[in-house]
Structure 1
Amino acid sequence: MNSRAEVTGSRMDTAKLAAAVVLLLAGLSAFYFFSDYSTLVRVIGLLVVSAGAGAIALQTSQGRRLWQFAGDARAEVRKVVWPTRQETMQTTLVVIVMVLILGLILWFFDSILMAIVRFLVGHGG
């Protein structure tokens, strides 16, 4: 009995997703078909159609899982301890200083290797 209910739910989910895709494609087609109208009106219409398609898609089991995932992700982001402005500035300064030091070291080694190559090739006269 449960397997039949799951199959029916799955078929309904597929139908809902197909309806959402068809609605979205119709909205896109209308956006370009009515190119004589104001862009603002067409964009608002496209946003309304997209919201409707999204609402239909969220009624499926995949849509509910996606909404639950988004809610869980939002809750996790709220738990993050973000660095203060001072910590961010100090870390940025350390990164800049290390990049400059590493750049100078690489420039020094490059200069030495270039001098060696010029000496070996005979252009370093």
Structure 2
Amino acid sequence: MASPNLEPVSTAADKAKLGAAAVVFIAAFGAYYALHAQQTWLRVVALLILLVAAAGLFLIAGPGKALIAYTRDSVREVRKVVWPERKEAIQMTAIVFGFVVLMALFLWIVDKILEWGLYDMILGWKH
């Protein structure tokens, strides 16, 4: 038995809207190249108008509405975040950079020790 909260993935109308959006999207680029004899600004305007139309068709379909809802929820959650003060952010950034420098130095030292041990001591190769 299906849960009453579940919605169908797509209705026939949503599929038609998404198909129309795809056709208009492809037609936008087709129109751009079909108008090769026209001025560039006219080709770009035609491209932008058709791309906006394709985006509009997508946004009125079910997946587009879900994307809008997801974006609104994401913005709402970002507003809840407590961002660090400038001083704290600078201090944490300095700590991260310092740690990166120390790790780079440590790895360089380990590399040189392994190089010395492997090449000079075991293989007898002198640089």
Normalising by structure 2, report the TM-score: 0.77
Structure 1 vs Structure 2: percent identity of aligned residues? 36
Closer/same/farther in 2, CA of residues 56 and 114 from structure 1, 3 Å limit: closer
Name the structure 2 match of 1:100: 101
1:54 Cα deviation (Å)? Answer: 1.7
Distance (Å, rounded) in 1 between the aligned partners of 2:65 and 2:49: 20
Distance (Å, rounded) in 1 between the aligned partners of 2:41 and 2:85: 41
Matched, 1:119 2:121: yes
Give the helix-richer structure, 1 or 2.
Answer: 1
Name the structure 1 match of 2:12: 11
Q: Residues 38-57 of structure 1 correspond to what in structure 2 (within 5 A)?
A: 38-57=39-58
Normalising by structure 1, report the TM-score: 0.78
What RMSD in Å do the two structures reach over aligned CA positions? 2.5
Distance (Å, rounded) in 1 between the aligned partners of 2:75 and 2:68: 11
Post-superposition CA distance 1:59-82 (Å, at most 9, x none):
222222221111111211222222
SS for the counterpart of 2:11 is helix
Can you give the 5+ residue segments of structure 1 that lack an aligned partner in the other structure?
Answer: 1-5
Matched, 1:61 2:59: no
Name the structure 2 match of 1:20: 21
For this pair of structures, how many residues does the alignment match? 119
Post-superposition CA distance 1:12-70 (Å, at most 9, x none):
22222222211221111001111233333322222211111222222222222221111
Closer/same/farther in 2, CA of residues 16 and 120 from structure 1, 3 Å limit: closer
Moved more, 38-47 or 26-35: 38-47
